[in-house]
Amino acid sequence: MARESIYKKYKPANIPKDVTNTPSFWFIFKDYKMLAKVTETGISIPYGTLEELEITPIRTQYLGTLEGKFCYSAELEPGTESPDEMEFRDLMSIYEVLDEDIFLLAGKALQTVRWDRDHQFCGRCGAETETSTYEMAKICPECGFKSFVRLSPAVITAIIKDGKLLMAKHRYREDMYGLIAGFVEPGETLKEAVERETMEEVGLKVKNIKYFGSQSWPFPHSLMVGFTADYESQEINVDGNEIIEAHWFSPNEILQYPSKISIASDLIEWFIFKFDKQKKLKLNKKRNQRD
């Protein structure tokens, strides 16, 4: 993947800071929807003080700075109306039109808001928690139990056999073929997760597993870790549970795939570039037009 590190522009914060009366970027959520400024030229994140924005959140979390400007996540009471010229939008539905750094921060904000909301009380003893003053954590004053923002790593793999890519239809996404993916289980390595998921979902053994890249995926709290692998043995045998169909596709047979911001599309384009020079030319042309 060619994207630059978010840390070139963004400095994270571990220590809570109350500068809410200073103009800041606000990643504000009501349920799972984010408040966005929608204009003819695009979608942007509200910037200003809470007073200027006429917003009264029930909880706020300091996230650090983006290009020197303060950033907050915040949660609104359910039923709150959106201010003028702003709308609540599902993050998944706007990720293609948001600047990539803003999308990544919005994802972090969404996960932080959810974590704060879901850890108001201790999961061990039920006492009300307190926010740590020196790290991003909730601490139980009764039993000392600490909760950090949850992150669930998942693997996604492009499996190749004789110049063809394995693509599968997932039960939750029947309109499109995608790659084999699944959550990492406790106790296993990423490589073992790739082997297990591939065997469980499509009954295949793979070899030459190579790291490709990773991506934050805040739906709801994943870290997607991408791999490439070669087919080793066995016949396709879908589990019928998560996967309902799977086939080998040559580059020319791939007509539709997930949107450009996901690591799945990076993996599929990597495969197309590797095995089909004609399509590579077309993709480059399409990308240039898009840019």
Give the footprint of Zn ion on this chain (CB under 5 A): 122, 124-125, 127, 140, 142-143, 145
* Residue with Cβ nearer Zn ion (58 or 125): 125
Q: Least distance (Å) from Zn ion to the CB of residue 121? A: 8
In whole angstroms, how close is the CB of 145 to Zn ion at the nearest point?
A: 5
First to last CA, the chain: 16
- When the beta carbons of 126 and 163 are compared against Zn ion, the nearer one is 126
Tokens encoding 137: 């954590």
CA atoms within 13 A on the CB side of 108: 22
Shortest Cβ 143–Zn ion spacing (Å): 3
User: Which residue lies nearer to Zn ion by CB, 145 or 273?
Assistant: 145
Instruction: Of 141, 104, 119, give the one whose Cα is nearest residue 263.
Output: 104
CA dihedral for 220, 106, 179, 168, sign (positive or negative): positive
Strand partners, 233: 205
Amino acid at 4: E
* For Zn ion, the closer CB: 125 or 281: 125
Q: Which of 230, 239, 167 shows the shortest CA–CA distance to 197? A: 239
Closer of 143 and 244 to Zn ion (Cβ): 143
CB of 111 to Zn ion, least distance (A): 22
Helix extents (H) in the chain: 50-53, 91-94, 100-118, 190-202, 263-275, 277-290
Closest contact distance (angstroms) between CB of 140 and Zn ion is 3
Nearer to Zn ion, 122 or 180 (CB): 122
In angstroms, what is the minimal distance from the CB of 138 to Zn ion?
10
Q: Which residue has the tokens 């003819």?
A: 40
